[in-house]
Every structure is written in C-alpha cells, then in structure tokens.
Structure 1
Amino acid sequence: MAARRKANRILAAVLIPITLLTLAGMAMLWPSGSKEGISLANPYSAAPGVTFDTGTIQSVVTENCMQGAAQQGPTQQGQTQQNPGQGSDCTFAFTEPDKGGSPVKVVINPDVAKSHGVKAGDQIRYLNLSNAQGAPSSQGAPAYIFVDFVRTLPIVLLALLYAVVVIAVARWRGLRALIGLVGAYFVLASFMLPGLVEGKPPLLLALVGSTVIMIGVLYFAHGFSARTSTALLGTIFGLGITALLAAWATDAANLAGVGNHDATTLVNTSSNISITGVILCGLIISGLGVLNDVTITQSSAVWELYELAPASSARKLFTSAMRIGRDHIASTVYTIAFAYAGAALPILIIVMLYDRPLGETLTSAELSEEVIRTLVGSIGLVLAIPVTTLIAVLVVKATGVRPAAPAVGITETPVPGPGTTDGGRQLADDVDDTGSLAAAALEGRTRRASDGMDRAEGDNGAPTTRRGRRAADRG
C-alpha cells in the first residue's frame, strides 16, 4: 500500500495539472446553447391537423396505386386489383391504430417494400393526413403514409441483454463502465455537439472533450490507482498524436464532406458549422474506445508482470510487456479497419460497382474519409502502446519495492518465514538465468511445492531442507 501511494503521488504531479487545464478549457469552450441563426426544418413536425400515429399491421396487399388510394375500406388479404391504364402497383398495409379505431390503409414506400418489405405483426409509424384541411384522400392521394418501423422493443431487449451480460461477467466494474458510458455520451451531447454547431475551434473542442471523457470513464470504471493513472497518461498521449495527425490529414487531403447528404444539410443549416471541423472532430472521437482498450491492457500487463517478478530489470519488464503489446497491436489494427469497413459497406458496394481502379477508389470523396480515419486512429493507438508501457515500467520501478537480497559473504540461507520460501527468494536469480518471467514464476511455484514436500518428509528423521543438509555436513 505504501508503494502504491508513492506511485500515485508521482502520477498525480503530472495528471492534476493536465486535469485542471482540461477543466479550464472546458469552461472556456462551453457552448451557450443558443440556436439563433439555425434554420433546420424538423422532418417530424406536422402541419395543423396532421399527426404521427403508430399501429400494428394486420394484412398486406398489392393494388393499383390510384385505386388503392381511393379505397379506404379493408379488402381481403392477398387481393390484387390492377388497371395498367391508371398507374402502377403499390403496397398497402391494413394497420390497426394503437390509439384504437378501425384499421387504416397505409401506403408503404416503394424502397421499403422492395428492400425489406412489411408483414403482418410489424409495428409501424405512419403519417395521418385524414384530418388535415383538404384531406388528400378526397383528391385521390393516400391519407396514411408509412414513415418508419417502431423498433423500441427489440432495441430495449438488446440493451437489457447487453447490460445483463456485462454485469454478469464484469460484475461491479461492468456496472461502473456502463454508467461511465452514459456520462461520456452526456459530454458528447451537451458539450461537443453544441460547440460544433456554434463554431467553436474543433481541434480544441475534440481534445478537451475527449480528455474529459477518458478521465471520467477510466477512473470511474477502473478506480483510482497507479494502473489507471498510467493508462490515462498513455491515452492522453495517443489522443495528442491522433489530434495532430487528424488536423494535418484533414487539411492535406481536403476532406470537405463533398457528396455527403448529411454534410450538405449541415452546410445549409448554419453559417457557423464547418464540415471540415466536424470531420476533424469525428476523426479524434472515433478512436477513443480502442485507444482506451490498449492503454488499460498494457498498464495492467506491466503491473502483473512486475508483481510476478519484482526484481526483474526495467529492460526485461518492458520487453516482456511489449510482447503482449505487439499481439494487441496486430489484432486492434484489424478491429479498426473492419469496424469502419462495416459502417461504410453500402458505399463500398456502390464504388465497387463503378469498376474504378483501386487507387482512385480509395482516394475518392466517398472513401477517403474512412481510409484516413482508419490510418489516423491506428497510428495513434500503435504509438500509445510503447509509451504506456514505458510509463508503467517507470512507475512500478519508482515505487521502491525490492525483494530482500542476501548479504554478501553469508552462505547460510535464513529460515523461511510464513509465506516465504527458498524458491521465492531465488526468483530474481531465476529470472536472470531463464530470461522469461513466466518460466521463472513456474519454477518458483515448483520449488515451493518441493520445499513443502521436503518439510513433510522431514518427519522420517532425514534432514531434507538445505539448511538441515548444511548442518548435517558441518556436523
């Protein structure tokens, strides 16, 4: 405990100024919350008399679009009415409103009907135009229009299952991680997003917000300890590298969000919003989770190896931990690449169908942002691993914990005390001889078991311990 307190004091001398500076920056950059000058129409706002209703589909039919819109009464399931002279076929869903009443005939969007389709039992949200002025049904247009599926139940079930699995496996720490995740999204929604809308500096906004998130999440989920502080220092270093690379790459690669419908919407919403700044902030935020993963893993690895063999040199400790880190680097690079590829899968398919050269495809406006996000995030986390490992080694060596070494010139081994054996005292020498921490630990356990057997066999009168044999030899 004394050694850990000493390590915490060393880390606090570095982390407290960083934390205070981050909080001061957050106070200076905190958005006002004003939405003045923003012109964005809410797609879910309705005109007088128009409402968004929900209901459950009872049956689905395919009918002529003009006739189907004119008929508001239900027909038999599967009935098809076609009149090529009056228009094409449309899909209609007879839906029972959740608020009660007779089933209504909801027209399904052609893209939904073709890609996913609807079936009986689906819960949907639809636009109710029947009470609007000049109801469209009287003009031959549909009075009920499909808007979206209601996904509340499956999402809630998945969220509950996720929480149960995390808490069952990680227990109290898993619960704290989930609560920390909620806090992280609060910082994102109340500080970073409004700040981007108001035109705050995106680089500072991303750095300050990400640092606050990591400080809160790491300490809340893993507790206040030297391990956590070491991981936090490595994470902050990785964030700095990622921010610098993201700022350079955004400007050098001219990432402007061209061709992105959402980016075009934001540009027309407010003159304060910079799409380049939004992309820059996104490049930094996207790597937070993986960066946190590798730094906390490396910090814990160094501590476990040190507790296994506290007399090992700093070089050997760093080398052993980096063997773990290199494996982690290899797997994490794949994780980032495949995560971004999965998110951009529709774009990948479209670009593939264009049959363009590979180099031109990867540097196109459609894929360049994903490629740069992968590269920037990967470089930041790869460099964070050796830095975190080095900081952890320096911290554990600065604690001053050392095994008791025998005095020079004394050949007799002291009597083992409770919980201490000859094999344990020779662990440091074993590390130097074998060059492997794991092998030294295994050999130490074997010797402890052997000493226990020797003491058990000592009842037969034969001196089996080394001290007993030396006494017998001198006698």
Structure 2
Amino acid sequence: MSPWTHPPTTPEPDVGAGHSHVEHPSLGPAPRNLRVLMAALVGPLVLATLVGLVLLWPDGDLELTAPGVDVQRGTATVTELVPCQLVGGKEVEGCQAATIDVLSGPGEGDASVAVLPYGEKAPQVDVGDRIIVSYTAGAPVGEQYAFQDFDRGPPLLTLTILFAVGVLVLSRWRGIGALASLAYSLVLIVVFTLPAIMEGSSPLAVAVVTASAIMLVTLYLSHGFNVRSTVAMLGTLVSLVVIGVLGWVFTTVGHFTGLVDEGSQYISGVAGQVDLHGLLLAGLVIGALGVLDDVTVTQTWAVWELADVDPDASVRTLFGRAMRIGRSHAASTVNTLVLAYVGATLPLMLVFSALSLPFGIAISQEVVAQEVVRGLVGGLGILAAVPVTTGIAALIAARLVTDRAAGRETGRTTAGGGSHRA
C-alpha cells in the first residue's frame, strides 16, 4: 500500500428517516432475541398508553360552573389615537381610545373604536400597533371593544422560523424528526391534556398518559426506531415514576392546595371539577419530561460510543466511564432546572424581600414552596435517570459487542472450513 493511500473505512450510515433502524456503524444491529426483549418491555407500555388515551379522552361536553360575561376576542391594528367617551358620553380625564381596523374576531374587516388602558403604568399604545381586543356585545356603543394585550404573533412567528432553521442546519435530517416531535407534543397537550383536565379527569393520570404518549413517539421519531431509543425510554420511564411518587408524597405532606395564583383561583371559580392539587403534580411530571429526555438520550449515546471505542470493555468498565460523563451532565442539568424555577418566582421573592419576611417564612409560602418542590423533585428524577439509564445501556451495549465478536469468529471459522465442504 502506498504511503499516500488511506485504508478503506466503513461508510457512516445515513441518518435519514429511512435508515433509522441502524444501531451503530460498528456495533451493528441488535440480535433478534434482544429485539424481542425490548418489544416485550415496550409493548405493555404502548398498550397501557392507548388504553389511557381512550379512557381519558375528553368528550367535549364541558360546562363551566360560572361562565361569567360572554366576551370574545380578536386582533386589530391601531389607526388613530382619540379621546375616549365613557359614562354616558362624557369624557373621562386621562382615558384614551383608538380607532382600529379589526383583523380577526367579531366585526372582522370593520373599523371601530377600542378603549385603551390608562394610568401611570398603563402600556403605551401607538398608531400602527397590532393589538388583541376583547369584544362585549352587551356593552354600550363605543365601549364594546377594549384593549387586552399586544398581538405578538408576528415576532413569535419569526422567532419560531429562526428556531426551526437553526435546528435543521445543525441536526439536518434528524432536525425534521425533532421538529415533528415538538409539534406532536404541543398538539397532544392542546387537544387531550388540557381538555381532559378541564372536564374533571385526574390531572396526575392525564399527565402520566400524556408523558407516556409523548415519550413513545418523540424518542423514536427524533432518534430513530432502535435499541438505543428504547433504552433511553426505559430510563426516562423509571425516572418519571420516581418524580411522580416523590411529588405526591411531598405535596401531600406539605399540605399543598394548588390554589396560589390568579390562574388557579380563576379555574377554581369557573371549573370547580378541576383537582388543583393534582394539577400541581401534573405540571411537575410534564415539566420534567423534557429534561429527562436530554439526560437519558445523552447517557445512552455515550455508552454506545464508549463501547465502540473499546470493544473489550466490560459492563462494569462501560458503566464507570459513562457515569463520569453522567455526573457532570447531571450536575449542570440540575443546576439549570433549579435556576429556571427560581427565576419563575423572582418577582414574588422581591415582594417578600420588600416586606422583610424571614427567609424561612418566605420560602414556606406555597407559591414559592411549590417551585422548590418542582426543582428538587425534578433534580432527584435526573439523579435517578443517570445511573438507571447508564446501567441498562452498559448491559445492552456490552451484549452487542459480544455478539459482534462472536459473529466475526463464526465467520472466520466458516470461511476456514469451507474447503472441506462437498
């Protein structure tokens, strides 16, 4: 061989959807008995998820206990700012209104007048702004439309497109699966999770079924239908069980009611059938799913790569090496998770600071304590996910390496004995 000639290399498999069955370019496909075992583990989970979806699927017959005023909403563009006429046609000092072109909702395509918020800290509305307006049919003329919020649809759409392009540029074909998984998760939550909870189904049961349905589809869609994805799914499942049990125990012992903010109070008033304590647990389970996905997938892929680099490594060696990766990953992920929950309560903590509440009392307030429970229970779920997933992955990767070596030895034996065949 010429010194300038490179030895042939095994081509890396296409990562497109059509080749997602490839386990690893070196480890090769999983043997049949291992695939059967994986199917035996996943099959009952799939069946239980489908049964849960059927039993808990909302029937659309939702009745609110206190529907209140019939208010509709739409979008509009501000064309001119004018003084507002309220209270029997008299001008109100400081009050402002705007002429608007209604873009969607009641009166679509018409020009009308909308009352704007006023006061020292009211949002500033300018000509050309796109706003969300509420429409009350029974209100006096000139007061039927009122400013509710700014319409942030266009910038959010632009940001979404940038996000999708970034995912596709970095992940290529796998990015399509990731985006499809994200869309599926959001649609499932909108059409199943939220209506089922609103109709009075157990929020924890709905969250478990939702998490299972999301996990089964998104892991395989994003990472391919292979043993690695199954290992990551099993690790995620065990961790979700840990999170659900710990969350139930500590929210029960801590006397959490779930009735801590305006949203919860509104729901309790208009939909008394919703279990707010269960809703807290549901948010905990679904919120932890995305982080667990990241941890379990990373650990599984790390074990596979380590097994490829060192085919002679034992299960214990693979586990030890991958755990060193997992410890660093878990430490950074737990920190990220806890800081995210701390950030969610930062404005409230400022209120407690202004009131000079002792730290122990401030953190015991339910609105803060529930974020503490979410962060710590989610962190414990991550800590459980690392060794569980790493252990399963090490066992299976070592088995694949052994089967590969046995296959090569069988091939050499068959090739050597071929001349003795008739």
What is the TM-score when the length of structure 2 is the normalising length? 0.79
Q: Structure 2 CA distance, aligned partners of 1:59 and 1:401? A: 75
Q: CA deviation at 1:229?
A: 0.7
Equivalent position amino acid for 2:372 in 1: V
- CA deviations on 1:226-285 (whole Å, 9 max, x unpaired) are 111110000000110011011112211111123422212222223421111111111111
Q: CA deviation at 1:287?
A: 0.5
Equivalent position amino acid for 1:26 in 2: L
Say whether residues 1:16 and 2:37 are aligned partners.
no
Matches within 5 A, 1:53-132: 54-58=75-79, 60=81, 88-95=93-100, 106-110=114-118, 114=121, 116-127=123-134
Say whether residues 1:30 and 2:57 are aligned partners.
yes
Q: Structure 2 CA distance, aligned partners of 1:54 and 1:197? A: 26
Structure 1 residues 336 and 4: CA distance shift in structure 2, 3 A: farther
Structure 1 residues 279 and 136: CA distance shift in structure 2, 3 A: same
Matches within 5 A, 1:373-412: 373-399=374-400, 400-401=402-403, 403=405
Matches within 5 A, 1:44-443: 44-45=71-72, 54-58=75-79, 60=81, 88-95=93-100, 106-110=114-118, 114=121, 116-127=123-134, 135-136=140-141, 144-399=145-400, 400-401=402-403, 403=405
Helix, strand or coil for the counterpart of 1:367? helix
Equivalent position amino acid for 2:60 in 1: G
Structure 1 residues 145 and 327: CA distance shift in structure 2, 3 A: same
- CA deviations on 1:297-325 (whole Å, 9 max, x unpaired) are 00000000001101012222111101110
Helix, strand or coil for the counterpart of 2:366? coil
Helix, strand or coil for the counterpart of 2:258? coil
Structure 1 residues 305 and 90: CA distance shift in structure 2, 3 A: same
Structure 1 residues 134 and 59: CA distance shift in structure 2, 3 A: closer
Percent identical residues: 35
Equivalent position amino acid for 1:56 in 2: T
Q: Structure 2 CA distance, aligned partners of 1:42 and 1:301? A: 56
Q: CA deviation at 1:115?
A: 5.1
Equivalent position amino acid for 1:188 in 2: I
Q: Structure 1 CA distance, aligned partners of 2:86 and 2:47? A: 69
Structure 1 residues 239 and 128: CA distance shift in structure 2, 3 A: closer
Contact 1:125/1:147 (8 A) holds in 2: yes
- CA deviations on 1:101-127 (whole Å, 9 max, x unpaired) are 77x65432136x725422232112335
Helix, strand or coil for the counterpart of 2:367? coil
Contact 1:310/1:402 (8 A) holds in 2: no
Contact 1:203/1:247 (8 A) holds in 2: no
Q: CA deviation at 1:385?
A: 0.8
Q: Structure 1 CA distance, aligned partners of 2:389 and 2:95? A: 60
Contact 2:259/2:276 (8 A) holds in 1: no
Q: CA deviation at 1:67?
A: 8.9
Helix, strand or coil for the counterpart of 1:110? coil
Q: Structure 2 CA distance, aligned partners of 1:292 and 1:134? A: 50
CA RMSD in angstroms comes to 3.0
Contact 2:134/2:147 (8 A) holds in 1: yes
Equivalent position amino acid for 2:225 in 1: F
**Paired residues, number:** 376
Helix, strand or coil for the counterpart of 1:356? coil
Structure 1 residues 34 and 115: CA distance shift in structure 2, 3 A: same
* Bigger Rg, structure 1 or 2: 1
Structure 1 residues 348 and 16: CA distance shift in structure 2, 3 A: same
Structure 1 residues 128 and 299: CA distance shift in structure 2, 3 A: closer
Equivalent position amino acid for 1:180 in 2: S
Q: Which sections of structure 1, spanning at least 5 residues, go unmatched?
A: 46-51, 72-85, 408-475
Q: CA deviation at 1:344?
A: 3.1
Instruction: Return the structure number with greater relative CO, CA threshold 8 A, min gap 6.
Output: 2
Q: CA deviation at 1:402?
A: 5.9
Q: Which sections of structure 2, spanning at least 5 residues, go unmatched?
A: 1-27, 410-422
Q: Structure 1 CA distance, aligned partners of 2:195 and 2:109? A: 40
Structure 1 residues 26 and 106: CA distance shift in structure 2, 3 A: closer
Helix, strand or coil for the counterpart of 2:62? coil
Structure 1 residues 238 and 70: CA distance shift in structure 2, 3 A: same
Q: Structure 2 CA distance, aligned partners of 1:31 and 1:68? A: 44
Contact 2:117/2:123 (8 A) holds in 1: no
- CA deviations on 1:330-353 (whole Å, 9 max, x unpaired) are 110122122223333332332332
Q: CA deviation at 1:26?
A: 3.1
- CA deviations on 1:12-51 (whole Å, 9 max, x unpaired) are 2322223223323333333333214654347633xxxxxx
Q: CA deviation at 1:53?
A: 6.1
Helix, strand or coil for the counterpart of 1:254? coil
